Amino acid sequence: MADINIKTIISSGNDEAAIEKASEILRQGGLVAFPTETVYGLGADALNEDASAKIYAAKGRPSDNPLIVHIADTKAVYELAESVPEKAVMLMEAFWPGPLTIILNKKKIVPDGTTGGLNTVAIRMPSHPVAMKLIKESGVYIAAPSANTSGRPSPTLAEHVIEDMNGRIDMILDGGVVGIGIESTIVDLTGEIPTILRPGYITRKMLEEIIGDVSIDRAIIEPDPNLRPKAPGMKYTHYAPKGEVTIVESEMTDVKEDHNLSAIDIKPESIKEDEIRPTDKKVIDKINSLVAEKTAQGFKTAVIATKDNAPYYNCDNVLIVGEADKGVTISANLYAILRKCDTIGAEYIYSEALNQNELGGAIMNRLLKAAGHRVIKVN
Amino acid identity, position 290 = L
Nearest by Cα to 172 from 41, 56, 70, 60 = 41
Tell me which of ligand TXA, Mg ion, none is bound by residue 101, counting a contact when its beta carbon lies within the kind-specific cut-off of 5 to 8 angstroms.
ligand TXA
Per CB under 6 A, which of residues 219..248 are in contact with ligand TXA?
A: 230-234
Nearer to Mg ion, 29 or 233 (CB): 233
Tell me which of Mg ion, ligand TXA, none is bound by residue 103, counting a contact when its beta carbon lies within the kind-specific cut-off of 5 to 8 angstroms.
ligand TXA
Per CB under 6 A, which of residues 141..200 are in contact with ligand TXA?
A: 144-146, 183-184, 186, 197-198
Nearer to ligand TXA, 144 or 353 (CB): 144
- Give the C-alpha distances (Å, rounded to integers) separating 120 from 72, 84, 375: 19, 12, 35
Nearer to ligand TXA, 238 or 377 (CB): 238
Compute the CA torsion angle 305, 309, 313, 317 (nearest 10 deg).
30
Residues near ligand TXA (CB under 6 A), total:
30
CB of 118 to ligand TXA, least distance (A): 5
Q: In degrees rounded to 5, what are phi and psi of residue 355?
A: -50, 140
CB of 180 to Mg ion, least distance (A): 14
Q: What is the DSSP string of 94-162?
A: HH-SSSEEEEEEBPTTS-HHHHTT-SEEEEE----HHHHHHHHHH-S-EE--BSS-TTSPPPSSHHHHH
Judged by CB under 6 A, which stretch of 12-20, 32-40, 334-342, 366-374 contacts ligand TXA? 32-40
- Give the C-alpha distances (Å, rounded to integers) separating 30 from 44, 109, 156, 241: 6, 19, 22, 29
Between CA 125 and CA 260 the distance in angstroms is 26
What residue spans of 235-326 are helical by DSSP H?
Answer: 278-296
Question: Does 113 interact with ligand TXA (rule: CB under 6 A)?
Answer: no
Nearer to ligand TXA, 69 or 318 (CB): 69
Q: Which residues bind Mg ion (CB under 5 A)?
A: 146
Most distant CA pair in the chain, distance: 61
Q: Is residue 9 classed as helix, strand or coil in its secondary structure?
A: strand
Question: Does 356 interact with ligand TXA (rule: CB under 6 A)?
Answer: no
Nearer to ligand TXA, 121 or 315 (CB): 121
What does the DSSP 8-state code read for residue 66? P
Per CB under 6 A, which of residues 114..133 are in contact with ligand TXA?
A: 115, 118, 120-122, 124, 126
Tell me which of ligand TXA, Mg ion, none is bound by residue 184, counting a contact when its beta carbon lies within the kind-specific cut-off of 5 to 8 angstroms.
ligand TXA
Q: Is residue 51 classed as helix, strand or coil in its secondary structure?
A: helix
Residue nearest to ligand TXA (CB): 233
Question: Does 302 interact with ligand TXA (rule: CB under 6 A)?
Answer: no
Residue ranges binding ligand TXA (CB under 6 A): 36, 38-39, 41, 65-68, 101, 103, 115, 118, 120-122, 124, 126, 144-146, 183-184, 186, 197-198, 230-234
